[in-house]
């Protein structure tokens, strides 16, 4: 609680400095245990009131609880030192406000909207990126999350198995160790620790850093037949797999996909010709470069559950988030909450 109060008081002071908006925070009483407190905002032309949930950094796995809280507590806003732009869009799309450490704020109350953006953090010193969460690092961490024992492989064998360059492996492992995600057992053996936190850190990095570099385009099918019978695609021996909503339907039979995600090893032109795809912004099919080699996963037409979970959670769509929670509980929870 003390840490939360320190976080919010610092952020409110920054808001007052950059925008002249005064915010008064009051911690919630015991009857409102789900949320942290309430804020009254005061400025020259009026004021706003909001319930508030405080996070040091807002992550994808916070979304299900936040969305549920927002149904009971309105208006609700997230206050966090750092909120990624994509996460801000998710919050806005769900009618949830935010306030970050730079003093950027969004809050919708009735027909009125308070929205200020563009303020920079006080500390403008460039943050040093942990090498484990660069594009290459994220590919290797993904491999570790699915094949944990591989972290003990010789570097050359690991580079070949994970499809990354040999020179990056030492830096990635050192980065994971520095971040507290590796436990050394004796001289020869390493294991991952804080695995759920690592998974969520990976999802954030995947969304912000890796995934955009893999995007090959959005498309519609030229004919209705393939659009209707997408489950028959691709053939089992083709180097392509479903992710996101499509994979969720095939894995858990929970939702009818509105957008299909396909990961492919084939060249974009070959896929578009073979499947008769027409480029279209926000089309039915989103095509991504497949970024992993062989994995311990027996569903040949589907991406691994970790990636399906990530795809679902970062949509910000409540129906996809519900499906993501089911995927996590069915395929991932036992593994990622052991340590």
For residue 69, the domain's CATH number is 3.40.1350
Under the banding of pLDDT at 50, 70 and 90, the label for residue 287 is: very high
pLDDT reported for residue 298: 66
Q: What torsion, rounded to 10 degrees, do the Cα atoms 31, 313, 151, 266 define? A: 180
Give the domain-ending residue among 164, 193, 222: 193
Residue 234: asked if its preceding bond is cis (omega within 30°), the reply is yes
* Same domain, residue pair 186 and 229: no
Cβ proximity of 159 and 127 under 8 Å: no
The CA-atom distances, in angstroms, between 284 and each of 73, 265, 339 are: 34, 20, 39
In a domain, 122, yes or no: no
238, part of any domain = yes
pLDDT category of residue 296 using cuts at 50, 70 and 90: low
Q: Are 269 and 294 in contact (CB under 8 A)?
A: no
- Say if 329 falls within a structural domain: yes
If asked whether residues 270 and 183 sit together in one domain, one would say: no
Residue 124 forms part of a structural domain: no
Of the pLDDT bands very low, low, confident and very high (cuts 50, 70, 90), residue 260 is very high
pLDDT at 184 over 60: yes
- What is the CA 244 to chain-centroid distance, rounded? 12
Say which range, 55-64, 108-117, 120-129, has the weakest mean pLDDT: 120-129
Same domain, 84 and 168: no
Whole-number percent of the chain with pLDDT over 90: 60
**Cα gap 75→95, rounded to integer Å:** 8
Checking if the pLDDT of 280 tops 80, the result is yes
* pLDDT at position 128: 53
Q: How deeply is 231 buried, as exposed, middle or buried, from its count of CB atoms within 10 A (0-12, 13-18, 19+)?
A: exposed
For residues 107 and 135, state if they share a domain: no
In the predicted structure, residue 125 carries a pLDDT above the cut 50: no
Question: Considering 59, 89, 116, which residue would you say is the last residue of a domain?
Answer: 116
What is the structure's pLDDT at 237?
Answer: 63
Phi and psi at residue 137, to the nearest 5°: -60, -40
- pLDDT at 307 exceeding the cut of 60: yes
| Cβ proximity of 192 and 151 under 8 Å | yes
Q: Does residue 81 belong to any structural domain of this protein?
A: yes
- Name the DSSP class of 28: P
Short-list 151, 258, 275, 164, CA closest to 221: 275
Say yes or no to pLDDT of 110 above 90.
no
> What's the whole-number mean pLDDT along residues 177-193?
91
Note whether residue 208 is domain-resident. no
295 pLDDT more than 80: no
Supply the pLDDT for residue 16: 92
Residues 262 and 300 in one domain: yes
Specify whether 226 is located in the same domain as 180: no
Domain-located, residue 207: no
pLDDT of residue 226: 83
Residue 258 lies in a domain: yes
Q: Are residues 161 and 275 in the same domain?
A: no
Domain count, the chain: 3
> How confident is the model at residue 309, as a pLDDT?
96
One domain for residues 331 and 218: yes
Q: CB neighbours of 318 closer than 8 A, spacing ≥ 6?
A: 67, 94
Residues 44 and 96 in one domain: yes
pTM over 0.75: yes
Whether residue 279 is found in the same domain as residue 319 = yes
Q: Cα(198)–Cα(142) distance, rounded to whole angstroms? A: 10
pLDDT digits (tens, 9 = 90+) for 222-257: 988 888 889 888 775 678 999 999 999 999 998 899
| Polymer length of the chain | 339
**Whole-number pLDDT of residue 300:** 76
Same domain flag for 30 and 78 = yes
Per-chain mean pLDDT for the chain: 89
- What CATH number has the domain bearing residue 173? 1.10.10
Confidence of residue 43 (pLDDT cuts 50, 70, 90): confident
pLDDT tens-digit readout, 192-232: 999 998 998 899 899 989 999 999 999 999 988 888 889 88
pLDDT of residue 285: 96
Q: What is the mean pLDDT of residues 176-204?
A: 91
Strands (E), the chain: 22-27, 37-43, 46-57, 76-82, 97-100, 105-109, 112-116, 182-185, 189-192, 215-221, 240-243, 260-264, 277-279, 285-289
Beta bridge partners of 100: 80
260 and 328 belong to one structural domain: yes
Which residue range(s) make up the domain with 12?
A: 2-116
């Amino acid at each position: 609680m003390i840490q939360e109060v320190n976080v919010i008081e610092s952020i409110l002071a920054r808001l007052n400095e950059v925008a002249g908006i005064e915010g008064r925070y009051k911690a919630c009483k015991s009857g409102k245990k789900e949320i942290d407190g309430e804020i009254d905002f005061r400025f020259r032309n009026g004021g706003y009131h909001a319930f508030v949930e405080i996070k040091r950094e807002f992550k994808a796995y916070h979304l299900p609880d936040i969305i549920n809280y927002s149904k009971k507590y309105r208006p609700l806003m997230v206050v966090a030192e750092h909120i990624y732009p994509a996460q801000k869009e998710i919050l806005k799309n769900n009618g949830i406000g935010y306030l970050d450490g730079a003093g950027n704020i969004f809050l919708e109350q009735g027909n009125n909207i308070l929205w200020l953006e563009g303020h920079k953090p006080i500390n403008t010193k460039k943050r040093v990126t942990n090498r484990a969460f660069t594009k290459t690092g994220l590919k290797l961490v993904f491999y570790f999350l699915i094949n944990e024992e591989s972290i003990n492989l010789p570097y050359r064998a690991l580079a070949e198995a994970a499809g990354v360059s040999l020179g990056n492996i030492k830096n990635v492992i050192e980065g994971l160790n520095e971040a507290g995600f590796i436990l050394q057992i004796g001289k020869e053996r390493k294991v991952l620790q804080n695995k759920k936190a690592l998974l969520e850190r990976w999802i954030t990095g995947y969304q912000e850093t890796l995934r955009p570099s893999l995007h090959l385009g959005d498309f519609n099918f030229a004919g209705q037949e393939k659009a209707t019978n997408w489950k028959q695609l691709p053939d089992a021996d083709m180097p392509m797999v479903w992710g996101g909503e499509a994979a969720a339907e095939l894995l858990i039979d929970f939702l009818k996909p509105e957008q299909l995600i396909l990961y492919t090893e084939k060249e974009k032109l070959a896929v578009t010709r073979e499947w008769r795809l027409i480029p279209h912004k926000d089309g039915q099919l989103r095509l991504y470069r497949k970024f992993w080699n062989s994995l311990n996963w027996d569903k040949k037409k589907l991406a691994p559950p970790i990636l399906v979970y990530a795809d679902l959670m970062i949509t910000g769509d409540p129906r996809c988030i519900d499906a993501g929670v089911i995927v996590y509980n069915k395929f991932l929870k036992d593994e990622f909450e052991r340590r």
